[in-house]
Amino acid sequence: MEFEWAPEDAAYRAELRAFLAAELPPDWAKLSKDGPGSDAQLEFSRRFCARLAERGWLTQHWPAAYGGRDASAWRHAVLGEEMWAHGEPRGSQYMNVNWIGPAIMKYGSEAQKALHLPRISSGAVLWCQGFSEPNAGSDLAALRTRADRDGEVYVVNGQKIWTSYCNKADYCFLLVRSDPESRRNKGISVLLMPMDLEGVEVREIPSVVGERYFHEVFLRDVRVPVSARLGPEHEGWDVVSYALAYERVGAARYAKAALVLDALAEAAKASGRLADAALQERLAEARALCEAARVLAYRVIDGRAKGRPPTVDTNLARVAGTTADKRVGELALEVFGSEALVYESFAAANFRLSMTAGVAVGATEVQLNLIAARWLQLPKSGA
């Protein structure tokens, strides 16, 4: 075991912090108050990712053959931590670089690789993920969006929901049922669908979380070329399992939570409330939860650095991460009291961001099911 950062990774972190200090505008905190789906933040993220790409940092962990730099999983983890600790200025593009790109590398045709990978690694493209449907949330295998083969085209009909970032996205990583006779996780395919095709309609679902956070995507007779299918026909479940394993630890939310918590403690100190021993204990326990989430995330990165397939460690890390995130969000309200009611306030903005932890990217209950089955090896659940 070794718990110290390699000198080159520590040096990279320092370089990255200097870069962020120079690149993030002074009003970044304000800019990000409406959430990552807001116009202001999306526009900023596009410029910011291009700057990261110029340095070769955006997709540094990709193989050199695909425009990366063969950087280690640990170096990429430093990038993720620093990005989240600064409010994730990459916006939605962490998805592209963390799992959409790698899925294309593993399952894509040469033409798909040539089309998509350079655009992702230059920071020039926005993606969204078309997974959830009105009747397929946690139970993703219940999805019903149809893709009927018509020669060299799939005719897609159906509806996706809770889709983030799709108002500005160029492409959608879309899950469809390509075999209409199939059930559950058989007969599913992945389509890399351009969002500007005829028949694609995006509607915002107004929410209390942030601007343009959730959307519905209606798909009516959308004609997607067969050449846009990622991986073998009807075997998309394998593709999405691979992609999700990467997605589940892609976000270093604990780094953001730890930073917000420090700011909360500073605010409590300034107002005199930090003298309250009970509040000290609650803030400190939240800090300890952030630290636990950090080391559990590191354990997952360790597996990745050693080239191992993801294990139940990812589920443990995820539950720890969302637990920390939620605890910090709740403390924001406690520390600021009624001032947290003001929409523009630091407390309210951070509370809003923490609200979806535990639901977004897979419900905590599903993670707990997997931990019970795979880690504790409890008997199969029947209810």
Partner 1 sequence: MDFELSDDQRAVLEAVDALLARHAGPARAIELAAKSAYDAALDTALDEAGFDGIALAEETGALEAALVTERVAGAAGTVAFAATALVAPLVAGRALPGPVALVRAAADGPIRFAASARTLLVLDGERARIAPLSAADVTPVHSNFGYPFGRISAAARARGETLGPASGERLLAWWRVALAVEALGAMDAALRLTVRYLTQREQFGRPIGSFQAVQHRLAECAVQIEGVRWLVYEAAAQGARTEAAACVAGLALAAAGHVHRETHQLSGAIGYTTEHELHVFSLRLLALRLECGGAGEPLRALARERWGAPA
Which positions touch partner 1 (CB under 8 A)? 1-6, 74, 262, 265-266, 268-269, 274-275, 277, 280-281, 283-285, 287-289, 291-293, 295-296, 298-299, 301-303, 305, 316, 319-320, 323, 365, 367-369, 371-372, 375-383
Q: How far is the CB of 83 from partner 1 (least distance, A)?
A: 19
Q: Which amino acid is at 159?
A: Q
Which C-beta is closer to partner 1: that of 41 or that of 322?
Answer: 322
Q: How many angstroms separate the CA atoms of 47 and 116, rounded?
A: 19
Q: How long, in residues, is the chain?
A: 383
Nearest to 125 by CA among 192, 164, 171, 80: 171
Least Cβ distance, residue 299 to partner 1 (angstroms): 5
CA distance 138 to 132: 8
Kindly state the smallest distance separating residue 307's Cβ from partner 1, in Å: 13
As a whole number of angstroms, the distance between CA 376 and CA 373 comes to 6
The nearest distance, CB 284 to partner 1, in angstroms, is: 4
User: Which helix (H) or strand (E) covers residue 230, if one does?
Assistant: strand 229-230
214 bridge partner residues: 205
Cβ closest to partner 1, residue 33 vs residue 326: 326
CA dihedral sign, ordered 166, 37, 259, 70: positive
If the CB atoms of residues 147 and 283 are measured against partner 1, the closer one turns out to be 283
Cβ 256 to partner 1, closest distance in Å? Answer: 17
Q: Please, what is the minimum distance in Å from the beta carbon of residue 276 to partner 1?
A: 9
CB of 182 to partner 1, least distance (A): 27
Q: Provide CB contacts within 8 A for 29, sequence distance 6+.
A: 87, 346
Q: How far is the CB of 320 from partner 1 (least distance, A)?
A: 5
Q: How far is the CB of 328 from partner 1 (least distance, A)?
A: 14
Q: How far is the CB of 152 from partner 1 (least distance, A)?
A: 45
Q: Can you tell me the distance from the alpha carbon of 208 to that of 355, in angstroms, rounded to the nearest whole number?
A: 9
Q: Which is nearer to partner 1, 5 or 19 (CB)?
A: 5
Between 338 and 377, CB nearer to partner 1 = 377
Q: The tokens 């099911």 sit on which residue?
A: 369
Q: Please give the helix or strand (H or E) that residue 173 lies within, else none.
A: strand 171-177
The angle formed by the CA atoms of residues 129, 325 and 260, to the nearest 5 degrees, is: 110
Q: Using the minimum distance from each CB to partner 1, give the nearer residue, 21 or 383.
A: 383
Residue 44: name the closest of 92, 80, 81 by CA. Answer: 92
- Give 112 or 315: the residue with its C-beta nearer to partner 1: 315
Shorter beta-carbon distance to partner 1: residue 221 or 281: 281
Which of 24/372 has CB closer to partner 1?
Answer: 372
Q: What is the largest CA-CA distance in the chain?
A: 71
Q: Would you say 54 or 266 has its CB closer to partner 1?
A: 266
- Residue 260 to residue 280: CA distance in whole angstroms: 15
Question: Distances in Å between the alpha carbon of 227 and those of 28, 63, 112, 152, 211?
Answer: 40, 24, 8, 8, 34
Query: How many C-beta neighbours within 10 Å does residue 94 have?
Result: 23
**Tokens standing for 273?**
């409330």
